């Protein structure tokens, strides 16, 4: 089974989701924020150790800090603790530069509190300020995330027969939940 699934969105309609009371968004603002990003991404199992996350941030994001300040979004709880993050990023895709919903993660201490949808909505609105199309990559086992992406209008990209089979498997799993 293919490990990576792609989804696309034309950014013409973005559902609105309000943050729970007391929560707020904050954009990347200083060098310490890279540590908050690494901690959330590691806690959400994107990396085994924070040092790996920090290396990835250094390689992928630090060369574009001006864009990071406009596109990396944190979700803070009512006490100002970092609860989640996402990037309204961009990449070359199909021979053009389009938006990319990237590195979306909710810290495990805050999962299940209906925070992902407001975070995704915020990122998609930022994407729509810069692009008229976006994509994302996800994994077949991320059923909760895929469910959210479908809710937002992301459409599966059926690249080949293997991706069609994987999507059929994902849809079967989603209908079982």
Q: What is the pLDDT of residues 32-51, one digit of tens each?
A: 999 999 999 999 999 999 99
3-state secondary structure 63-125: HHHHHHHHHEEEEECCCCCEEEEEEEEEEEECCEEEEEEEEEEECHHHCCCCCHHHHHHHHHH
**Average per-residue pLDDT for the chain:** 95
Is residue 1's pLDDT more than 60? no
| Structure token pair of residue 47 | 């990396």
Q: How many domains does the chain have?
A: 1
What CATH number is given to the structural domain containing 56? 3.40.630.30
The mean pLDDT of 15-39, rounded to a whole number, is 96
Structural domain for 26, as ranges: 5-176
Rg of the chain taking only CA atoms, in angstroms: 16
Say how far apart CA 126 and CA 37 lie, in whole Å.
Answer: 18
């Amino acid at each position: 089974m293919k490990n990576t699934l792609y989804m696309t969105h034309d950014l013409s309609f973005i559902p609105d989701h309000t943050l729970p009371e007391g929560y707020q968004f904050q954009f990347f603002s200083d060098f310490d924020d890279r540590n908050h990003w690494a901690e959330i991404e590691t806690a959400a199992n994107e990396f085994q150790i924070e040092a790996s996350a920090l290396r990835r941030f250094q390689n992928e994001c630090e060369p574009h800090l001006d864009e990071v300040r406009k596109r990396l979004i944190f979700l803070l709880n009512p006490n100002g603790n970092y609860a989640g993050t996402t990037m309204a990023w961009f990449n070359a895709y199909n021979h053009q530069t389009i938006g990319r919903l990237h590195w979306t993660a909710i810290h495990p201490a805050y999962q299940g509190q209906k925070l992902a949808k407001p975070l995704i909505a915020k990122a998609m609105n930022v994407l729509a300020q810069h692009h008229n199309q976006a994509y994302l990559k996800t994994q077949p086992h991320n059923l909760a995330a895929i469910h959210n992406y479908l809710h937002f209008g992301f459409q599966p990209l059926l690249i080949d027969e293997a991706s069609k089979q994987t999507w059929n498997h994902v849809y079967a799993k989603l209908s079982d939940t």
